[in-house]
Structure 1
Amino acid sequence: MPEWATLGKILIGVGFGIVALGILLIALDRIPGFGNSLSWLGKLPGDISIKRENVSFYFPIATSIVLSVLLSLLFYILGWLFRR
C-alpha cells in the first residue's frame, strides 16, 4: 500500500501549509501598517452584495477571478521551478 503512504504525506504537507498560512495572516494582522493589507479582498467592484430587510446575499465574483488568476500564476511558477 505505498499509494496510501504517499497520499498521507501529501495531506500532512497540505495541512502544514494551511497552518503556516494561518500563522502568517495572524502575524500580518498584528504588524502596524499591514493589518489592512488584505482589506480589499471581497470588496472589489463586480462583487455582488444584496441586502434587504431579512435577507442578505453576497457573491464575490471579481474577488474569485482575481484569486483564481493569482493562484494559477503561483502554481504555474511552482510547477515550472520543480520541473527544472
Structure 2
Amino acid sequence: MLTPDIAVNIITHAVQITGLIVCVLVVPSLLGGLLVAIFQAATQINEQMLSFLPRLLITLTMLIVAGHWILRTLSELFIESFRQAGGLVG
C-alpha cells in the first residue's frame, strides 16, 4: 500500500538523482564560464561568442564523458521505481 512516507521517499530519491545528474552537467559549465568571464574582464574583450562557445563545448564534453553513467543511473532509477510500483499497488 502506498503511504505518504513511501511516496515521499520515492520522490526524494528521484529528486536527489536528478539533482546529481544536473550538477554533473552544469557545474563544469559554470566553472568554464567563470574562467571565460575572468579572461574577458582582464582583456576587456566583449564578444558574446567567446562566452557561449566554451560553455557549450564543456557541456557537450561532459555529456560524452558522463553519458554512460547518466543513462545507467536513470535506468536504475526507473527499474527501481517500477519494481516498487508493482509491490505498492493493491
| TM-score normalised over the length of structure 2 | 0.34
| TM-score normalised over the length of structure 1 | 0.36
The structure in which a higher percent of residues are strand is 1
> Larger RCO: Structure 1 or Structure 2 (Cα < 8 Å, ≥ 6 residues apart)?
2
